[in-house]
Amino acid sequence: MRRSEALALIGPNGAGKSTLLSILAGSLDPSEGSVARAEPSPRIGWVPQRPAQYGRLSARENLELFARLEGVDDLVGTVERLLAAVDLPDGRKPAAELSAGNQQRLNLALALLNHPEVLLLDEPTASLDPGQRRRLWSLVARVKEQGGAVVFATQNLDEAVRFADRVAVLREGRMVYEGPADEYERAPEADVFA
């Protein structure tokens, strides 16, 4: 990955997109091959498909807890900024009782806590309404503007072409295509969809 760049991972269900993101996040070791990491390791923010928060805690309490664990200096200001950035209500409702879209927005806020140099997003718009999708892509653009790299898995080809600089197509755990997003639609179908 390059700084200030977004890479879209696309491919059929079971192609290995989520597995690759888990490997990049450091939560899973590859069964074959290896991953070269920059030294020192960059700060990574990860938005998995499933909720990655404590269900008994509210959105605010989750953010406060993880901010403390990350050693965030301005805890109150950071939590307020992130709640506003993802337009997440500050209710006392436990995270487990939030809608799927609100849980996804909380996942995003948690991933942004440490000002990531690499942001990993697994199907980030799957539960979001159109307004929240725009907000998400605006936040992704901000990460890129600040020099961060973004890798996102998606089934939405329009989003891949529109928001990524490069596209990688995975099939059965292997990359079968990699290139500029604006050239993806012109790639030979036999190479990409075989």
Give the domain range for residue 155: 1-43+116-194
Q: How many domains does the chain have?
A: 2
Classify residue 48: in a domain, yes or no.
Answer: no
Q: Token pair for residue 151?
A: 């890798």
Half-sphere exposure of 70 (CA within 13 A, CB side): 22
Residue 74: per-residue pLDDT: 93
CA distance 153 to 28: 17
Residue 192: per-residue pLDDT: 59
Classify residue 50: in a domain, yes or no.
Answer: no
Residue 185: per-residue pLDDT: 76
Identify which of 8, 44, 17 has the alpha carbon closest to the alpha carbon of residue 163: 8
Point out the domain boundary residue: 99, 114, 129. 114
Classify residue 78: in a domain, yes or no.
Answer: yes
CATH of the domain at 194: 3.40.50.300
Point out the domain boundary residue: 114, 134, 156. 114
Side by side, which strands form the sheet with 6-10?
44-47, 118-122, 149-153, 6-10, 166-171, 174-180
Measured in whole angstroms, the distance separating CA 16 from the mean position of its chain's CA atoms is 15
DSSP strand pairing (118-122 vs 149-153):
parallel
DSSP H helical segments within the chain, as ranges? 17-25, 59-70, 75-85, 100-112, 130-145, 157-163, 181-184, 189-193
Classify residue 152: in a domain, yes or no.
Answer: yes
What is the CB neighbour count within 10 angstroms for residue 140?
Answer: 20
Q: Token pair for residue 5?
A: 């760049």
0.85 exceeded by pTM: yes
Residue 15: per-residue pLDDT: 93
For the chain of 194 residues, list the mean pLDDT of each consecutive stretch of 10: 93 93 91 79 91 94 95 93 89 90 94 95 93 94 96 94 94 91 74 56
**59 in Cβ contact with 98 (< 8 Å):** yes
Q: Are residues 126 and 194 in the same domain?
A: yes
Number of H-type helices and E-type strands within the chain: 8, 6
Residue 78: per-residue pLDDT: 95
